[in-house]
Amino acid sequence: MESAPPQSDVSKPSALRLVVLISGSGTNLQAIIDAIANGLLPARLVAVISNRPLAAGLQRAARAGIPHVALDHTQYSSREAFDAALQYQIDQFEPDWVVLAGYMRLLSTTFVEHYRSRMVNIHPSLLPEYKGLDTHARVLAAGDREHGCSVHLVTPELDDGAILGQRRVNVLPGDTVQTLSERVQREEHLLYPQCLKLLALGNLTIDKHGVPHYQGSPLATTGLDLTGTSLT
Ligand code: GRF
């Protein structure tokens, strides 16, 4: 009698392996942890790495039982030396994607090229508007009626890579930096797991030129508008 085939994962696509880089509180990391725990994101957090040893996000990783590493950038003589050490650490975990979630350091070109088309970032604006810092204050100062967040591929130019997805919020009368940033962050916590899920399922793909496609067609320059949709 033939024995039954072993109950292994060979017939199932394996979960996307993610290394998340953080510098601070890690609320986006938490959203990814929760989405995976709730069975909504077919991914595996293989490591969390922080350039700041006291980043609260490291405790989130610890609580979730995720391997976590603090790599203190102040102990390195140059950006290049630190990025080389970081790259070495990341590659030990063999990720499919490197996920920047509040990682507050500029990246050297060598590092970015190494992860070309497999590194994403979340940014608190509707890119290409408001690259860089202080996005909420700048949106308020400009009197914009709309704001939001974007997930994009990372390229050597700051906040400039192809956009995968966005979620929009209205700017309300009386909004402050605090109220607006809280509203945008709620959207970030939906947007990041959503985009990662589309990558995990193969609905979003990146071609050899670094151009994102959704279900086989090139994406619009503003990516997918996921406003109002839920992670299911
Ligand atoms: C987020 O607002 C993200 O858009 C920006 O940094 C912040 C990180 O927050 N890149 P957290 O550490 O995920 O709470």
Cβ(193) – ligand 1 distance below 6 Å: no
The pTM of the whole model exceeds 0.85: yes
| DSSP states of 37-104 | HTTSS-EEEEEEEESSTT-HHHHHHHHTT--EEE--GGGSSSHHHHHHHHHHHHHHT--SEEEESS--
The residue to mutate among 21, 23, 25, 28, having the most atoms of ligand 1 within 8 angstroms of its beta carbon, is: 28
Q: Which of 73, 114, 123, 136 is catalytic?
A: 123
Note down pLDDT in tens along the chain; length 232 residues. 433 334 344 444 579 999 999 999 999 999 999 999 999 999 999 999 999 999 999 999 999 999 999 999 999 999 999 999 999 999 999 999 999 999 999 999 999 999 999 999 999 999 999 999 999 999 999 999 999 999 999 999 999 999 999 999 999 999 999 999 999 999 999 999 999 999 999 999 999 999 999 999 999 999 999 999 999 8
Q: How far is CA 125 from the centre of its chain?
A: 14
Cα of 197 vs centre of ligand 1, distance in Å, is 19
123 noted as active-site residue: yes
